Amino acid sequence: MRVVAQTGAGIITNQGAYPDPRGEGKAYWRQVAIYDDRFLPEFEVIAGYIHEQKAVAIQQLLHCGRYGGIDLGYCVQPSAVPQTLPHFRPPREMSREEIRTTIAEYAAAARRAIKAGFDGVEITSFMGYLLANFNSRFTNRRTDEYGGSIEGRARFMVELIYAIKEAIGDDHPLCARLNGAELMDRYGGNDEEECLELMKIAAGAGVDMISVTVGWQESPVSSIARDVAPGHWNYLAARAKKAVGEVPVAFGVRLPDAGMADHSIAAGEFDFWEVCRPFLADPQRLHKLAENRPEDIKPCIGCMLCLSRLFRDLPYLCTVNPALGHEVEPVYHPAPAVVRKNIVVVGGGPAGLECAVTAARRGHRVTLCERRRRLGGQLSLLVDRDLANRSDLAQLTGYYAAQVAKLGIDLRLDTAFSAEYYRQKCPDTDVVVLACGSAVDRTRWSALDPAGVLLDAVSAVPPGPRVTVLGGGKVGLVTGEYLAQNGCRVTIIEEGRRLAEDVMPTWKWRHTAWVEELDIDVVTGCRVAAIGPESVRLVDRQGRETVVEHDSVAAATPRVPENGLLTALEFAVDELYIVGDAVSPRGLYQAIHDGYRLGVRL
Amino acid sequence: MALEQDALALWQSLLDRQDRYFGRIKGGRIGIVERATFASPPGAVLVWDIAGGRARAGADRYRCPGGYDLLLVVPDGARWADPGRLAPDPVAALRRLIRRGEVLFFVPAGRDELRARGFEDLVEALGVPFLGTCH
């Protein structure tokens, strides 16, 4: 929390604490509770950290309603509307008595937060939590005074605002996070006009600031992921700003760029820029901006690893910031090198880049050899082919390129590193790091491909118009989607039962949706029996044969480590390491984390 | 959604060809109900009762809760009684309709219960990531 306090933000909101002793409001493993005074000391410490940095301390109060009850066998809602995702608990309808109890618990929690030293509190009617459940037509089907019309559905919110204002007084601000759009229209949720109306009601009831958010956890369309362009939702903040008069509006949904935020504030779209995920990627971003070092900021790429982990009851990780969650562990921090070494990193993909940059930052002399003419490795595949917002990924390769130049790393592109090259061109080397990535295991297919027509889906763009892609994991999907978007008729063949098995949970749906939208043919649960220039022959589990015709065929799987240099260099160099896919083919975050963990200790 | 015996026989014929979806499920119930009935029970519901790797089509009176593991809420209209609407692959057809928002997908059963009874593949085949949230 001290790291968060040191971000340089003017207002810092502590994570949502659930206010009820039953745990019905708890949605996340390790979510903090604030239903009893025995928790005060921890909140006092956090408020103290924030105040040390001269920031305003806000405590979010969060009863998760439909998404709560993580430790229980149920969740509570205004009405017993079943879940649309398996992750959440079956619902129970709240009685009037339970509603009144919940409001009282909220008020007591708010009083407790102020007692702990926080300057104000925040309530949250967004993302499908309890307050949103009352506000929404989708989850509030009550026929009593807490349901029905928009005023009836807002009654819980209004009573909550009054109760909290009474509990904390006028000297302490109360913020409300409200949906600008629920993105639950198809389920009968509120439309944008109703969301705006609810903001007006909240403003009229006396909230001191409104934070505009977008979407519910279960929204069937994207709100904060990489396939939404930065700035896409700004119009919702601008509409809110016009609607709520003098009440300040905060906004930050899918707005990772400070320059864009500055522009929006200057244009009067909102008053405060809210930042969450970009701070996970780089907690020092505001200081770097203040020091006119934007090239040193690690970009948030909107990959959703953080939230994928959260909903698996695991601590946050960030793809681009391996130190996240390890702030107090010295081993995760780049300290000046005790012995300055000459390091050669082989491979300019994410693992090699991260290792090279981290090691150079510590004072080592680093040479980076890359066999291609550009940096990025398999990240370049995504930059070139991914259907989501590619500029996020391009920013990451741009960050690395800038750091390589700035740190004086000896970059050798178009360089085929070998034992011979090492002997001739790398004198006085102390350390070699092999970050050579992975490649398709051609031995898996060679017996089936007598004509030698099979291409590697990473290194080649298979010519159309009909293309068969072997492998329905992320490499095969990205390739197939890219080809289909460019007019090819694509068939993806996956020997396993399901597509996207190596894709993170919050992103799987995006691939399966693209596959359908692009009309890509998918065959699962089949074995490839023969590969030819014009077709592949498949055999299913019952022994039935199918033929898929094509103009070209590319394999995306299985991938094997490119670690051929390991043996050749074993007795040729003082220290020899291997990182990233060259150890075992995985993904972007594992590559970056591998590279960093080695770079900080060389 | 009037479900006559003839229609149920056609449903059964269709479901009998879907063992790849139901083969892993140790037991469970899927309900298909019209929006009007879902909003204001009671009314008719088409059920697929799964046991022994086979789904059996039946008609029931919709109740909430009604012991459904998965609930598919379809637009009002008699056409949903006709299995031809979802033939030849009802799960793939439903996945497309769910994606388009024409059919609403609900999960009345708990995650752990669904996983224990082998529903994971079927849920994913319907286009819903079993462990996915937050887009």
pLDDT value at position A16? 96
Q: Minimal Cα–Cα distance from B6 to chain A, Å? A: 31
**Consecutive H or E run containing A150:** helix A150-153
B118 to chain A, any CB pair closer than 8 A? The answer is no
Q: Give residues with Cβ within 8 angstroms of A462, minimum separation 6.
A: A455, A469, A479, A483, A552, A553, A554
CB neighbourhood size of A327 (10 A): 14
Per-residue pLDDT reduced to its tens digit, A236-261: 999 999 999 899 999 999 999 999 99
Domain extent, residue B91, equals 5-125
Task: Give the pLDDT score at B1.
Answer: 65
Partner-chain contact A86 B95, CB within 8 Å: no
The rounded distance, in Å, linking the Cα atoms of A399 and A298 is 7
In this structure, which amino acid lies at residue A418?
A: S
Q: Is the pLDDT of residue A591 over 70?
A: yes
Report the chain A residue with the minimal C-alpha distance to residue B123.
Answer: A86
From chain B, the residues in CB contact with A307 under 8 A are 133-134
Closest-CA residue to A382 (of A511, A278, A482, A518): A482
Least Cα distance to A238 among A214, A262, A264, A260 occurs for A264
- List, in sequence order, every beta strand (DSSP E) within A73-152: 75-77, 91-93, 120-125
Q: Is B112 an interface residue toward A (CB < 8 Å)?
A: no
- Interface size, chain A vs chain B, as Cβ–Cβ contacts under 8 Å: 98
8 Å CB contact of A222 and B135: yes
Q: A145 - beta bridge partners? A: none
Residue A45 sits in the same domain as residue A134: yes
Distances (CA, A) of A411 to A342, A415, A434, A500, A522: 14, 10, 15, 35, 42
Mean pLDDT of chain A: 95
Using CB atoms, pick whichever of B65, B71, B131 lies closest to residue A87: B131
The residue ranges of DSSP E strands in A198-273, in sequence order, are 209-214, 249-251, 272-273
Nearest-CA distance B108 → chain A (Å) = 5
Report the CATH number at residue B98. Answer: 3.30.1050
Domain co-membership, A407 together with A464: no
pLDDT at A434 (0 to 100): 98
Strands A56-61 and A272-273: unpaired
Cα B46 to Cα B85: distance, rounded to the nearest angstrom: 14
A337 vs B10, residue with greater confidence: A337
Helices A505-517/B90-100 angle, 10° precision: 100
Residues A412 and A476 occupy one common structural domain: no
Any A CB within 8 A of B66 CB: no
Q: What is the CATH number of the domain that holds A466?
A: 3.50.50.60
Identify residue A368 by its one-letter amino acid code: L
Q: Are residues A496 and A385 in the same domain?
A: no
Query: DSSP for A272-319?
Result: EE--SHHHHH-TTHHHHHHTT-GGGPPPP----HHHHHHTTT-----S
- Reading the block at residue A371, the tokens are 């066999």
Instruction: Count structural domains, chain B.
Output: 1
Give pLDDT, residue B134: 63
How much is the pLDDT for B84? 83
Question: Do A342 and A431 touch, CB atoms closer than 8 A?
Answer: yes
Q: Residue B7 pLDDT > 90, yes or no? A: no
A284, part of any domain: no
Please check the confidence at residue A179 and state whether its pLDDT lies above 80.
yes
Q: What is the pLDDT of residues A116-161, one digit of tens each?
A: 999 999 999 888 999 999 999 999 999 999 999 999 999 999 999 9
- Give tens-digit pLDDT for A4-14: 889 999 999 99
Closest chain B residue by Cα to residue A514: B99
Q: Is residue B135 part of a domain?
A: no
What local confidence, expressed as pLDDT, does residue A542 receive? 84
Q: Is there a domain that residue B45 lies in?
A: yes
Residue B49 falls within a domain, yes or no? yes
Beta strands in A172-288 (DSSP E): 174-181, 209-214, 249-251, 272-273
Two structure tokens written together for A206:
């006396």
Give A81's DSSP letter: P
- Best of B21, B98, B134 to substitute, by most chain A Cβ atoms within 10 angstroms, is B134
What's residue A234's pLDDT? 97
In this complex, do B131 and A219 lie within 8 Å of one another by their Cβ atoms? no
A82 vs B133: CB contact, 8 Å cut-off?
A: no
Residue A550 in tokens: 């094509």
- List residues in chain A touching B: CB distance below 8 A: 73, 80, 82-90, 186-187, 215, 217-225, 304, 307-308, 310-312, 497-498, 505-510, 512-513, 516, 525
**Which range marks the domain in which residue A490 is found?**
440-560
Taking only the tens place, the pLDDT of each residue in B81-91 is 778 888 889 99
Q: What percent of chain B has pLDDT over 90?
A: 47
Average pLDDT over residues A416-439: 96
The reply to whether residue A509 touches residue B129, judged by beta carbons under 8 angstroms, is yes
* Chain B partners within 8 Å of A140 (Cβ): none
- State whether A373 and A459 are in the same domain: no
Which pLDDT value is given to residue A572? 92
Beta bridge partners of A466: A489
Between CA A11 and CA A452 the distance in angstroms is: 61
- Total domains in chain A come to 3
In the predicted model, is pLDDT for residue B80 greater than 80? no
Q: Which residues of B touch A512 (CB under 8 A)?
A: 127
Nearest to B132 among A310, A497, A509 (CB): A509
Mean pLDDT, residues A546-568 = 95
Would B131 be classed as within a structural domain? Answer: no
Spatial distance between the Cα atoms of A410 and A405, rounded to a whole number of angstroms: 8
pLDDT in tens, A344-392: 999 999 999 999 999 999 999 999 999 999 999 999 888 899 999 888 8
Q: What is the pLDDT of residue A337?
A: 97
